[in-house]
Amino acid sequence: MASTLKFDRGEMIFHEGDKGDGFYMVEKGKIKVFKLSFEGKEQILHIYGPGNTFGEVPVFEGKNFPASSMALEKSVILFLPRNKFVDLITATPGLGMILLADLSKRLRDFTVQIENLSLKEVPARLAAYILTLSKEQKNEKQVVLPISKAQLSNLIGTTPETVSRILKKMMDSSYIEVQTKTILIKNLEGLLDLSESGSLS
Kindly list the structural domains of the chain, giving each domain's residue range(s) and its CATH number in brackets, ordered by start.
3-117 (2.60.120.10), 121-197 (1.10.10.10)
Contact 123, 198 (CB under 8 A): yes
Q: Would you give per-residue pLDDT tens digits along the chain (201 residues)?
A: 789 999 999 999 999 999 888 889 999 999 999 998 888 888 888 889 998 889 887 777 778 998 999 999 999 999 988 888 878 888 887 877 777 777 777 777 777 777 766 668 899 999 999 998 999 899 999 999 988 889 999 888 899 999 999 999 999 999 999 998 999 999 999 999 999 887 776
CA separation for the pair 135, 85 (Å, rounded): 30
- Give the rounded distance of the alpha carbon of 11 from its chain centre: 18
What is residue 15's DSSP assignment? Answer: -
Model pLDDT, residue 119: 65
- Give the rounded distance of the alpha carbon of 62 from its chain centre: 24
Q: What is the largest CA-CA distance in the chain?
A: 57
Task: Report which of 118, 119, 141, 144 is spatially closest to residue 129, judged by C-alpha positions.
Answer: 144
Q: Return the number of other C-beta atoms located less than 10 Å from residue 109's C-beta.
A: 12
CA separation for the pair 159, 53 (Å, rounded): 28
Q: What pTM was estimated for this model as a whole?
A: 0.71
Question: What residue type is assigned to position 154 of the chain?
Answer: N
Model pLDDT, residue 201: 64
Model pLDDT, residue 27: 96
- Give the rounded distance of the alpha carbon of 106 from its chain centre: 10
